[in-house]
Structure 1
Amino acid sequence: MKPLNARLCTILMLVFAASACNNDLDEKIYSEVTEETYNYNNAYQAMSIGYATMRSLISHTHYYMAQESTADAIVMPANASGWDDGGIYKRMHLHTWNSENPQVNNMWNSFYSGVVNANRLIDQLNSGKIVIPSGVTQEALVSEMRVVRAFFYWMLCDNFGDVPLIVDRSNELQGKTARKDIYLFVVKELTDAIPNLSEEKNTLLYGRFNRWAAKTLLANVYLNAQVYAGEAKWAECLALSNEIIASGKYKLESSLSAPFVTENQNSQEIIFAIPFEENLAGGFSAHMFSWHASLKNKVNMLATPWGAGSAKGVPQFINTYDADDKRLTATWMTGPQFAADGITPLKGSYDQAGKNVVLNNALPDGLYTGEAEGYRMNKFEVKTAAMGSLGNDFPFFRYSQVLMMKAECLLRTGKANEAATVVSEVRARAFTTKPAKATVTAADLQKGSSYEYGYVENYKVVQPGNTVAIQYGRMFDELGWEFAWEGFRRRDMIRFGVYTTKSWLSHKPNGEFRAVFPLPQIAINSNPKLEQNPAYQ
């Protein structure tokens, strides 16, 4: 620290000396970049802050695990290495979170940070503050930032319901706008902006919204329109999905792992990614909060996963997989674990101290487990010598999801045979050794779910709870198998009527109001125009 302090002192002395010589007592800011001092000659660099906020979403105390750990496929229980953290994870599983849970605060802060940045950039682009590069129009860049803003308002609408709608740079406090009106705003913004976006898919547009990524966003909004606005928009979602498919810009990878490897930026399946880089743009650490510390030696990591890890598969969900479905082992790490040599067994450190680590599909409940209990994350590649942050880009939208949106819309509009064809196409790469199993029928998709819902104690379901069949339950299962660990499950469960009605592991239904999160208490305290969401008051 001494060299740094000495250097700082030297800088300060030079600044004060210069001020004294000039006899100028006006404040000069040398340590901050302000709107007045920033160089806006590079539009793409200036606009990048609109996207940079998205990186914060993919965290265990943020949007990512709020979508997964509140649902029925992944749970984050405590164990002998810790992972209680004042109950912030178990509350998500039990649906007993409150307005001060960090996940709630972090989502709200990042979503509105994204909105505020987009509003500023739209204003600066419109006013000429940001220099427009050759080969692109001002209208196109403004439209792109409108899509970014719509993305964050979709996040707010989906997770919080009624929220303030802020579309300019005014500092005036706003009250809540109805969820349906937020939904309508998002739809209009996207509909107006999409025609002005580039149809190209290239390096310059990677990690940004081109026309097809924006259409995928709008299709997702329409897919859940009945939840947001009480009116189904299956036909609109289907039309957009067909347009994306017809573009020919994207395709299914033959390999299940291709969209999730470290160097996945060239995947033909990724439509919109949140880019990460282990040194310069970190924050994606699924391995750190899911893996057991001993797994460091599995790939000779340079970082050590946190304790015994926490995020793991809910056995009731794992049991729904077909044994021949390659997505099981492509998604979940299972069984005996070995060092990088493939021979040396990895050992436990707590309740399994000195014993071989064997990851098994058994949890006594969702609150406290043994260190080796539960299957772990295996979907995203953890490369040799990985650090605490992965370099894999997060595939927020991929072509597989467009196909599955199409299939669901077909199914819900009476075209089950066509839906089955699409689902079978997605399943094909998961059943290469048993290709006959890839084919599903219209009748299959209209069956109930294979998930054994119910409250678990000591490894067994002791109370089944709500046993009403899930409409299109097999389609719901297909979404779970395809998109585990991708942040879809909460939204899918709500759309299929499962999230607030069924029991799983230690979770029991805790009220319909849990379909949205409470507004953070700190936001309400700082804005007298805000009211808490109903039943959280």
Structure 2
Amino acid sequence: MTHMAKLSPRSMRRAATSTLLLLVPAVGALSCTDLTVTPKDALTPSNAFRSDAEVLAGVASVYAQLRQTVENYYNISEISSGEMIVPTRGSDWYDNGVWVEEYQQGWTANSALGIGDINGVWNAMFSGIARANLMIDVINTAGGASKDTTLAELRTLRAWYYYVLQDFFGGVPLVTSTEVKQYPRSSRDEIFKFIESELKASAANLPTKWPDAFSGRVTKGAANAILASLYLNAQVYDGNVTAAGLTKGTARWQDAISAANAVINSGVYSLATDWKSNFSTDNHNSPENIFYVQHTAQPGLGMSLQMRSLHYNQTGVNGGPWNGFSTTAEVYRRWDAADPRRSMWLVGPQRSFDTGQPTTDRQGNPLIFTDTIGNITAANENEGVRPYKFPVLSSAPSGDAFPNNYPIYRLAEMYLIRAEAQNELGQTAAAIADVNIVRRRVGLAALNTGMSQADARTAIFAERQFELAAEGKYRQDAIRAGVYTAARQFKTAKEPYKILMPIPATQIQTNPLLTQNPGY
């Protein structure tokens, strides 16, 4: 029995929309707060947006595209960084070798990954940008009392989609209108400055907090959190990538501190008392989630991360999970046994999440997850520690209908961003004090604030993984730390230019104004 027909996210929800033109869909009775609904009836600027409901539906469609960041972008970020691995298990999870290609960083511009998921990221993010551009035109024309706030929302979302694009590809076309034409690449520096200016301008018109009825809409905190991350990675984003690798650019540590402070000191967010509550099936009111993907328990509108990792027999939702995403013993063993956050990994004897009783593999043997994987191309169905940060809801109607919101930025990360920036500026004691705030929440002993700057750098890098694993952060962290393309288990090639993804061959064929990244 093969599970590939249902387990591959690329075959479930592939972004196939044009990068330059999107006919924004709408529904007749959409609430402006329902950011999970993907409207169905295609409308164009000439026949659409004749009512407030249609305008609100168009805005909701820009928010709805956030769900795509938990698909191809998430998968590649996690697997290419080595934090996760998807071994081939018989005929399951082969997909022409694409998952092994991701882990081993073997992609090219026209490989299975290059023209598949990497191209999917390009299309999905430009689709979000096209939706935002159209709605910005609509709102500018329509006016109204909420014009400035709505424009700020749309510009923030567009900036986020550009953040994802430049994070993966470096320079990309800068498209801010609905004009249908081919665009050349703008430099990464130009995209960085565009994102920065858009977020700064938008923050001024965004609310500090929305009423509960409008949860999920972007706030000042969301704009500042994206800025904090942008500045944290500035040396990479402002650097020069050649076939030989990265030459770092200008650091923006103080700007990262200022942006993180704007969130931390806003009085809006607080660390959840229970760390696990940030990821639960009812995490919609988490006090520390700043910017997140809103999910709901409806097919196609929920989270599916759980199904990617759990064994086929661990829940009966939609016929069972897909038994794919795992991690290696090397990664799992980084967590101290006393760290409660280690519980996000499943290892050893397993139970059904429906009944709570011990469960078996497909041969009827007790299901016991091992922490080792003997062969990435021929793994047993029980091999590999499984990520389980986001729990299942047994009553969910399908495997892509789990209602857990996906946090893009949480308050804990703002403390860790500030800590890293402070340490790089020589403020090591203050940096470790911030790390200790995060550790104290889970009951861990404080780190020594008197450690050296180098030791603090190592400690902060480790703490980010302990706190943020399976949240799509480790690729950026590994690139900043200079270890992303290093050799690791099941990977021996060192190709430092691969801190950037290739411009997909299909995009260059469609738009000859595009140029390829170095090394490809």
Q: TM over 0.5: same fold?
A: yes
What is the deviation of 1:139? 2.0
1-structure distance, mates of 2:355, 2:509? 55
What is the deviation of 1:281? 4.9
1:323 corresponds to 2:337: yes
User: Could you list the per-position Cα deviations for residues 254-289 of structure 1 after superposition, in whole angstroms to 9, with x for gaps in the alignment?
Assistant: 111111111111110111111111316525211211
- Aligned residue identity for 2:421: C
Match of 1:440 among 443, 447, 452: 447
Q: Secondary structure at the match of 2:413?
A: helix
Q: Secondary structure at the match of 2:265?
A: helix
- Tell me which residue corresponds to 1:479: 464
Match of 1:516 among 500, 504, 512: 500
- Tell me which residue corresponds to 1:337: 350
Indicate conservation of the 8 Å contact 1:223/1:233, yes or no: yes
- Tell me which residue corresponds to 2:228: 219
- Tell me which residue corresponds to 2:479: 494
2-structure distance, mates of 1:391, 1:226? 36
User: Could you list the per-position Cα deviations for residues 195-231 of structure 1 after superposition, in whole angstroms to 9, with x for gaps in the alignment?
Assistant: 1111123334422211111111111111111101111
Indicate conservation of the 8 Å contact 1:366/1:505, yes or no: no
- Tell me which residue corresponds to 2:509: 525
1-structure distance, mates of 2:393, 2:121? 29
2-structure distance, mates of 1:343, 1:95? 38
Q: Secondary structure at the match of 1:247?
A: coil
What is the deviation of 1:112? 0.5
- Aligned residue identity for 2:351: F
Instruction: Count matched residues.
Output: 463
Q: Secondary structure at the match of 1:265?
A: helix
1:293 corresponds to 2:312: yes
Q: Secondary structure at the match of 1:294?
A: coil
1:34 corresponds to 2:44: yes
> Structure 1 residues 32 and 246, CA, compared in 2 at 3 Å: closer, same or farther?
closer
What is the deviation of 1:140? 2.1
Indicate conservation of the 8 Å contact 2:354/2:394, yes or no: no
1:388 corresponds to 2:402: no
Indicate conservation of the 8 Å contact 1:40/1:46, yes or no: no
1:260 corresponds to 2:269: no
Q: Secondary structure at the match of 1:504?
A: coil
- Tell me which residue corresponds to 2:518: 534
2-structure distance, mates of 1:141, 1:214? 14
2-structure distance, mates of 1:403, 1:240? 11
- Aligned residue identity for 1:504: R
What is the deviation of 1:180? 1.1
1:247 corresponds to 2:247: no
1:154 corresponds to 2:163: yes
- Aligned residue identity for 2:418: K
Match of 1:93 among 79, 103, 107: 103
- Aligned residue identity for 1:93: Y
RMSD: 2.0
> Structure 1 residues 52 and 342, CA, compared in 2 at 3 Å: closer, same or farther?
closer
2-structure distance, mates of 1:37, 1:341? 48
Match of 2:237 among 228, 235, 239: 228
2-structure distance, mates of 1:286, 1:442? 37
Indicate conservation of the 8 Å contact 1:116/1:169, yes or no: yes
> Structure 1 residues 139 and 268, CA, compared in 2 at 3 Å: closer, same or farther?
same
- Tell me which residue corresponds to 2:23: none
> Structure 1 residues 253 and 164, CA, compared in 2 at 3 Å: closer, same or farther?
same
Match of 2:427 among 384, 390, 415: 415
> Structure 1 residues 368 and 475, CA, compared in 2 at 3 Å: closer, same or farther?
farther
Gaps of 5+ in 1: 1-29, 432-436, 449-470
Indicate conservation of the 8 Å contact 1:93/1:366, yes or no: no
- Aligned residue identity for 1:34: T
1:144 corresponds to 2:153: yes
- Tell me which residue corresponds to 1:70: 80
- Aligned residue identity for 2:436: S
2-structure distance, mates of 1:115, 1:340? 39
1-structure distance, mates of 2:210, 2:63? 17
1-structure distance, mates of 2:361, 2:90? 11
What is the deviation of 1:304? 1.0
Indicate conservation of the 8 Å contact 1:359/1:372, yes or no: yes
Indicate conservation of the 8 Å contact 2:84/2:327, yes or no: yes
Indicate conservation of the 8 Å contact 1:286/1:377, yes or no: no
Q: Secondary structure at the match of 1:148?
A: helix
- Tell me which residue corresponds to 1:167: 176
- Tell me which residue corresponds to 2:11: none
Indicate conservation of the 8 Å contact 1:420/1:441, yes or no: yes
- Tell me which residue corresponds to 1:304: 320
- Tell me which residue corresponds to 2:89: 79
The residue correspondences of 1:443-458 to structure 2 (distance < 5 A) are 446=453
Match of 2:124 among 110, 119, 138: 110
User: Could you list the per-position Cα deviations for residues 314-352 of structure 1 after superposition, in whole angstroms to 9, with x for gaps in the alignment?
Assistant: 2111111111000001x1112211235867431112xxx
1-structure distance, mates of 2:309, 2:167? 26
Q: Secondary structure at the match of 1:371?
A: coil
> Structure 1 residues 503 and 40, CA, compared in 2 at 3 Å: closer, same or farther?
farther
User: Could you list the per-position Cα deviations for residues 400-456 of structure 1 after superposition, in whole angstroms to 9, with x for gaps in the alignment?
Assistant: 11111111111111111111111111012323xxxxx420123557456xxxxxxxx
Indicate conservation of the 8 Å contact 1:256/1:429, yes or no: yes
Q: Secondary structure at the match of 1:271?
A: strand
> Structure 1 residues 36 and 75, CA, compared in 2 at 3 Å: closer, same or farther?
same
> Structure 1 residues 228 and 326, CA, compared in 2 at 3 Å: closer, same or farther?
same
Q: Secondary structure at the match of 1:396?
A: strand
Q: Secondary structure at the match of 1:89?
A: helix
- Aligned residue identity for 2:317: M
What is the deviation of 1:54? 1.3
Indicate conservation of the 8 Å contact 1:164/1:177, yes or no: yes
Indicate conservation of the 8 Å contact 1:337/1:359, yes or no: yes
Q: Secondary structure at the match of 1:176?
A: coil
Indicate conservation of the 8 Å contact 1:241/1:405, yes or no: yes
2-structure distance, mates of 1:394, 1:292? 22
2-structure distance, mates of 1:494, 1:285? 27
Gaps of 5+ in 2: 1-39, 239-248
Match of 1:55 among 48, 52, 67: 67
- Aligned residue identity for 2:254: A
> Structure 1 residues 516 and 36, CA, compared in 2 at 3 Å: closer, same or farther?
same
